[in-house]
Amino acid sequence: YQYTPLPSNTSFRFLELLPGPREEAPSYRLHFADWNSPPEYEAISYAWGNLARTHSSLCDNKSMEITQSLHECLVHIRHQDASRVLWADAGCIDQSNVDERNFQVSNMRQIYKNAQKVLVWLG
């Protein structure tokens, strides 16, 4: 998967988790939003776990590797009949882009503060 750069310094990504059964790999879309008018979303707080243990998911119809912990979380919280709007750091932040990662980490307080709900995944 290839991330598209954030359009501005007030931008962030959110994840639209598409509906589906637990037997299928998670599928989602990434969207841009602006802190001046953020959408309603739920933030996920979770332990990344072993970074070497990954699962394939579909992001914008392209393969994206995510940690086993995030994979399990998305499988369990996914609705069968409706999308769910979420923020999860491993998917919403381009972890390979150090500048973006550092900037977005500095926004963590705002990310969790603006969430409609914070979901905690302990496995």
pLDDT of residue 98: 95
Of the CA atoms within 13 Å of residue 48, those in its CB half-sphere come to: 9
**Rounded CA Rg of the chain:** 14
Higher pLDDT, 53 or 72: 72
Find residue 29's DSSP bridge partners.
Answer: 16
* Residue 25 pLDDT class (50, 70, 90 cuts): confident
Average pLDDT over residues 40-66: 88
> Distance (Å, rounded) from C-alpha 67 to C-alpha 38?
26
Percent of the chain at pLDDT above 70? 99
> Distance (Å, rounded) from C-alpha 73 to C-alpha 44?
9
pTM for the structure as a whole:
0.90
30 to each of 53, 88, 122, how far by Cα in Å? 22, 11, 24
Cα 74 off chain centre by: 9
Find residue 66's DSSP bridge partners.
Answer: 55
